[in-house]
Homo-oligomer: A and B are copies of this chain.
């Protein structure tokens, strides 16, 4: 009865499903020889990614995963874009604190603000995670999400990387853009799960990665809603709601996504809980799972760092990768190019 009465609607939903299935099946009419990951060298890691996508989307595959369950999660800093010599949001935050300092004379004498206002590198190097969250919260407080994103976008338009002398959004990893597009073309939803602030990342994630705001899981702040003179605003408070890093990534995935990812990509110990949640949750064995760390091994083309790094340390994670048979994506050996602009040369 309902089928007959909802003719157009159901017909369209059916068509959408059919197209999804057709795309998932690999598009019989598309040239099967074209390489979905052209910036990757041939080898076991690339082969494992292609096999995962094929196994989970090919009709009749024993490891077939229905489209709604096709979820892939990606860390941002060091996984999708360059995080050296310093996390980009830290640089934005320092610039923003300095820009706001004139309105906050008390910051000249109060830590952690004093260290940033004075540009005291030694003092800044000693700031704790708590200190940093206090600084970040101070850049958010009182702003709507739209206002904060505008500040970030304006800053990203003029800021330049100290070594590569390019906008930070030029320093995204071409091979990972290909992975994002490859997963999406096969019916996966791609989520970012980042320690960065929601609105910092949302300022560029859709344009840079094709990841829409509703698929960004990040560090969030308490907020206050007001309806004043017929204008509705939600403004951040100087108090963190969720630190979406380390164990917070497992909680962010649980709250925001509500499914175990099929695939997860990280690059540091901060991503450990995300990868563990992907491969070792009680329900993980019901489907194929894939977890990988981008491993920064290329000092010539990008940076080389792991166990001893202060930014993006990969120490416990290296041992866990070996133990759980997660993949290590060595940038030096796996990637033909690092940044998209290299392709235009």
Q: Report which A residues bind B (CB closer than 8 A).
A: 1-2, 5-13, 15-16, 19, 23, 27, 30-32, 34-36, 38-39, 68, 71, 144-146, 174, 178, 181-182, 184-186, 189, 191, 198-199, 202, 206, 212-216, 220, 223-225, 227, 230-234, 241-242, 247-248, 250-251, 253-259, 272-273, 276-277, 280-284, 340, 343-344
**Neighbouring B residues of A280 by C-beta, 8 Å:** 227, 230-232
Q: Give bound CA distance, A186 to B15, whole Å.
A: 12
Contact present for A232 and B273 (CB under 8 Å): yes
- A251's contact among B191, B234, B242, by CB below 8 Å, is which? B234
Q: A12-B30, A227-B272 are in contact. List 5 more A-B contacts (CB 8 A).
A: A191-B214, A214-B259, A225-B277, A230-B280, A232-B277
CB closest residue in chain B, given A225: B247
Contact present for A234 and B277 (CB under 8 Å): yes
Knowing A5-B35, A225-B247 are in contact, say whether A258-B214 is a contact too (CB < 8 A): yes
- A182's contact among B9, B185, B283, by CB below 8 Å, is which? B9
**Neighbouring B residues of A276 by C-beta, 8 Å:** 227, 232
**Neighbouring B residues of A178 by C-beta, 8 Å:** 6, 9
CB closest residue in chain B, given A38: B5
Min CB–CB distance A273 → chain B (angstroms): 5
**Neighbouring B residues of A182 by C-beta, 8 Å:** 9
- A68's contact among B1, B212, B340, B343, by CB below 8 Å, is which? B212
**Neighbouring B residues of A340 by C-beta, 8 Å:** 2
Contact present for A202 and B16 (CB under 8 Å): no
**Neighbouring B residues of A283 by C-beta, 8 Å:** 146
Contact present for A145 and B227 (CB under 8 Å): no
Q: Give bound CA distance, A241 to B39, whole Å.
A: 42
Min CB–CB distance A228 → chain B (angstroms): 10
Contact present for B36 and A9 (CB under 8 Å): yes
Knowing A231-B280, A251-B223 are in contact, say whether A258-B216 is a contact too (CB < 8 A): yes
Contact present for A1 and B343 (CB under 8 Å): yes
Contact present for B19 and A31 (CB under 8 Å): no
Contact present for B27 and A12 (CB under 8 Å): yes
Q: Give bound CA distance, A36 to B9, whole Å.
A: 6
Knowing A231-B280, A251-B223, A273-B227 are in contact, say whether A6-B68 is a contact too (CB < 8 A): no
Contact present for B250 and A234 (CB under 8 Å): yes
Q: Give bound CA distance, A253 to B273, whole Å.
A: 26
Contact present for B233 and A282 (CB under 8 Å): yes
